[in-house]
A and B are shown apart, each in its own frame.
Chain A
């Protein structure tokens, strides 16, 4: 069965690029357009990896990461979270890691690096 990747991202262009890249590698792609629905989708779909934009229209990515890590669903406490941001604010990376993200990537997202990081997480879980 294909591994599921959830991408929490409000920018449709970014989403399309990442969707195309991940589906090309055979992953099942799920998309949430804001933080609240991202948490809900994570709780109902149990993704194997989460890509999380930090600048979201409702709650920010730090809050999403904190809610996931404090979720009643135990798998979400450990699911790999890759923070993805335009990195326009001081300390984005530090805050993302402190909120519970495992890795920080700044936009533009290098696709080969994304593949490598997702595969790295999945192989360490398997």
Chain B
């Protein structure tokens, strides 16, 4: 069962019925977020009971949006390792440095979480065919979960997306359409096909449930840190579901009364210098991002010229007293090497970008040696081999 009660527009606050297919608020053209009866959940659920359940994201099923167990489409996502980085920490003068390694998810990236939740809910709502624009890993994840659920899948991706993403999508039976453009253009084309042919669009934040899968990263962190949260979380930002999802998780955990200390982390958004709309808007004090013209970076997951949820991302960063850092591709490559050499982790470029950002933050004094810091590796570097 789930304690899901309604969906709420992130801007006007209007409520929507989660028992029928929903996309985004048609009045505001803004994302919907899932709301739960946390008061009731708090009375009925014991946070410590979750630890002994079978591992994986769905052990938190009461706080995920799917009603019936038979509709949960799982490939074993979630419960990725939170590892200390003692050698890297010593090199950098940071005593409590950790990585949450999302590369251990099915399909090799954090996208598995969001797509597991979204595809499961789509199945529960009777949807038969789903479509997605992707910078790479989300497409591969959607193809896998669609295959497991028996849904038809169609994927639009830039033609320079890593080969692994194309092949994993095709082998899972998805229709893959390569486009000469970026994810934003893929989104435009997928949207047109969805309207014309009746596909359900699971683009980032254009349906409400991918965020729910991603938020479980926040629940796992809280549990792993014994119901206290780290001081700083450094996270790569493309569409922003992970960052928004975790911030949502922390609010839910506080409402549930499960945190021993309600002090929230400072959230850091990391983007590439060649595509940094969030960083630019954050630095300007803007409410929205300007569309980033001429986006380019080796971190394909960060080539997102403007997120549909840009205002939520910016709001969450500011509410957390966080920061936003742009890093160069050369710094990403160097950080990828450093993480592999010191700790044996072959990170995706997007994940390595978080280490590159941490180096900046340490040099500037924004993070302190005694702080508890978590960087996120969002995928495996193996998927980016030429």
Contacts and interface: CB of A to CB of B under 8 A. Distances in A.
A binds B: yes
Interface of A: 17, 85-94, 97, 103-113, 116-117
Nearest to A109: B29
A116 B285 CA distance: 13
A112 B30 contact: yes
A113 B187 CA distance: 19
Nearest to A87: B188
A116 B29 contact: no
Given A89-B181, A93-B184, A110-B28, 4 more contacts: A90-B181, A90-B185, A110-B311, A111-B29
Contact of B188 (A85, A105, A110, A111): A85
18 contacts: A87-B187, A88-B188, A90-B180, A93-B305, A104-B290, A104-B291, A105-B291, A106-B188, A106-B291, A108-B24, A109-B29, A110-B288, A111-B29, A112-B11, A112-B28, A112-B30, A112-B287, A113-B287
Given A110-B30, A111-B27, A97 B188 contact: no
Contacts, number: 72
A88 B191 CA distance: 9
B232 to A, nearest CB: 29
A86 to B, nearest CB: 5
The secondary structure that dominates the B interface is loop
Contacts of B27: 111
Contacts of A93: 184, 291, 293, 305
Nearest to B295: A93
Contacts of B11: 110-112
A97 B311 contact: no
B191 A94 contact: no
B185 A87 contact: yes
A89 B29 contact: no
Nearest to B288: A113
Interface in B169-199: 179-182, 184-185, 187-189, 191-192
A85 B308 CA distance: 14
Nearest to A13: B26
A75 B28 CA distance: 31
Contact of B28 (A85, A107, A111): A111
A36 to B, nearest CB: 24
Contacts of A89: 181, 185, 188
A98 B79 CA distance: 48
A88 B311 contact: no
Nearest to A83: B291
Please provide the 6 A-B residue pairs with the shortest distance between their CB atoms, ordered closest to farther: A88-B188, A90-B181, A87-B188, A108-B29, A113-B288, A104-B291
Contact of B184 (A87, A108, A113, A117): A87
Interface string B294-319: 10000000000110100100000000
A112 B291 CA distance: 16
